[in-house]
Amino acid sequence: MHFHYDTSSVPATSVPFFDASCGSPFSCLADFEAALDGFLAGMVSEAYDPRGYVEKNLLLEICGRNYIALIDKHS
């Protein structure tokens, strides 16, 4: 069996599933340094709260409930 994968470029950001409390997205390496500087400044000023986002949205228990709800919805 042979699999073929599309090799075209897929536009993606650095934070596809997170919200603004986790930082600002960037899409190329050239933007990384400025994005990192902005992120670090946002952490110091408490404008960003990535840990809070994870605790609110991505804990195992929360993801498990979301997964079960998705299964129930499509059963």
CA–CA separation, 45 vs 64, rounded Å?
33
CA–CA separation, 43 vs 7, rounded Å?
36
The yes-or-no verdict on residue 70 having pLDDT over 90 is yes
CA–CA separation, 17 vs 36, rounded Å?
18
pLDDT of 47 reads 96
pLDDT digit string, tens, across residues 5-52: 777 777 766 666 789 999 988 878 999 999 999 999 999 999 999 999
